[in-house]
Amino acid sequence: MCRGHVLVHILLINRKERLFLVRTLWLYLIIMKFLFFCFSLLEELANGLILVFFFTNSFLSVFPA
């Protein structure tokens, strides 16, 4: 194998490894964004339930059943 072919082979392997790393990082970023979105959605749902219970309790304390 000629020296030039060895360098081209090393460059191609590095390009493939780089492509794998870039794809892995993009996948990681997409998964993390999805998890953060789900967490923020659950947090907003919890805040909404807290508000519902707060106003229900306030209403029942003013107008008892």
Average pLDDT over residues 26-38: 96
Phi, psi angles (nearest 5°) of residue 12: -65, -40
Checking if the pLDDT of 35 tops 90, the result is yes
Query: Does the pLDDT at position 56 exceed 70?
Result: yes
Say if pTM beats, i.e. exceeds, 0.85. no
